[in-house]
Amino acid sequence: MNFPILQKSFSLKNFNTFGIESIADSFLEISEVKQLEVFSKLSQNPRPWRVLGGGSNVLLEKFTSGTVLKNSIRGITLLEENRDSVIVRVGSGENWHEFVMYAVKQGWGGIENLALIPGTVGAAPIQNIGAYGVEVKDTITEMEVWIWDENRLVTFENAACDFGYRDSIFKNKLKGRFYVCSITFKLSKAPKLHTDYGAIKDELTSMQCDPSIANIAQAVINIRKSKLPDPKVIGNAGSFFKNPTIASSHYKELKEKFPSIPGFSTQEDTLIKVPAAWLIEQCGWKGFRRGNVGVHDRQALVLVNVGGAIGTEIWELSQEILSSVEAKFDILLEREVQTW
């Protein structure tokens, strides 16, 4: 095992999809679990220890204290295969979209609706990524996670991960205490295809294609490309806020005042999920620009760095959006993007 070189005063500009300049105190690239074992015994490494995947869900400040560990643990291993399904273990530093496309090519279904989501495989379960009617939690069997304060690799079965909408144990009880090393997925050779999401149906029709794993992945790619800004062109971190759930009585009141308000039922009868993008758009933010920051003109949930923004500018804009949504609808939005 080679131990990677620790770099001081390292620029993270090319390591976060907002494209924000932030100088990390210390920076290290991890490509093997063994390196974590050695690293966690070197107590002189400045704390806190922060794990960086694709940098697609993080808002950085000008300086990042402590040690940033860039995740480069790679590898896709087929553990089991039968007529109906496969069990596959994936290194947490693999690129998520590349893994989705690899699975699609093999004819393994379950994650095709999650094509083109930025970030790494290891980051996917932390916020339980989801799109077009599918959440990653439904394909994960277990995860191998290094726990800093126990100095050991722990296996988390799916049920132990406390998955919820854009949520898991790793954003709560275990926040800042772990490093995801690998994820094991169960994928199906004859999956239930999720085409119920209106946009997918429409896209498949305009592609003149029948639903299949590959066609759904392509439909999702087309939809995402048409609505969501490419971080290589304009800095952003996808949805900045979560979609809120509100009491159905509150929703009823809002529906009387704002008849076009969309609402989706949830597993609980008393709660309705409302698209944050709609609330933000109604407050007049869609397409808004000020200085270096703005709100995307095709999806109001996405805040953008139009060039040279610092983290606080984006944070302040998000605060103004939160306040206006609260004032107009009495709904307090929650940020999906993480800060360090």
Which of 27/132 has CB closer to ligand EPU? 132
Strand partners, 91: 182
The nearest distance, CB 95 to ligand EPU, in angstroms, is 16
Q: Token digits for 314?
A: 């984006």
Binding mask 118-157 for ligand EPU (x = CB under 6 A): -------------xx-------------------------
Which of 168/243 has CB closer to ligand EPU? 243
336 is catalytic: yes
* Part of the chain binding ligand EPU (CB under 6 A), chosen from 5-13, 102-110, 294-302, 315-323: 294-302
Ranges within 81-120 binding ligand EPU (CB under 6 A): none
Ranges within 217-246 binding ligand EPU (CB under 6 A): 228, 238-239, 242-243
Q: How far apart are CA 194 and CA 53, in angstroms?
A: 28
212 is catalytic: no
The answer to whether the Cα torsion of 40, 44, 52, 126 is positive or negative is positive
Identified binder of ligand EPU from the candidate list 116, 145, 183, 277, rule CB under 6 A: 277
- Please report whether residue 286 would count as binding ligand EPU according to CB under 6 A: yes
Q: Token digits for 179?
A: 């490093």
Q: How far apart are CA 54 and CA 75, in angstroms?
A: 16
Q: How far apart are CA 216 and CA 22, in angstroms?
A: 37
Identified binder of ligand EPU from the candidate list 30, 246, 300, 325, rule CB under 6 A: 300
Give the residue among 235, 202, 225 at the shortest CA–CA distance from 117.
Answer: 225
* Part of the chain binding ligand EPU (CB under 6 A), chosen from 16-24, 59-67, 247-255, 271-279: 271-279
* Part of the chain binding ligand EPU (CB under 6 A), chosen from 41-49, 153-161, 171-179, 278-286: 278-286
Q: How far apart are CA 267 and CA 261, in angstroms?
A: 20
Q: Token digits for 272?
A: 């309705």
In this structure, what DSSP letter does residue 167 have? B
What lies within 8 Å, CB to CB, of 316 at 6+ separation is none
Question: Cα 127 to chain center, whole Å?
Answer: 6
334 touches 52 (CB < 8 A)? no
The nearest distance, CB 34 to ligand EPU, in angstroms, is 33
Marked catalytic residue, from 22, 168, 239, 318: 239
Q: How far apart are CA 268 and CA 245, in angstroms?
A: 10
Which of 208/260 has CB closer to ligand EPU? 260
The nearest distance, CB 230 to ligand EPU, in angstroms, is 13
Interface contacts to ligand EPU, rule CB under 6 A: 131-132, 228, 238-239, 242-243, 262, 275, 277-278, 281, 286, 299-301, 336
So which residues are the catalytic ones? Answer: 166, 239, 336
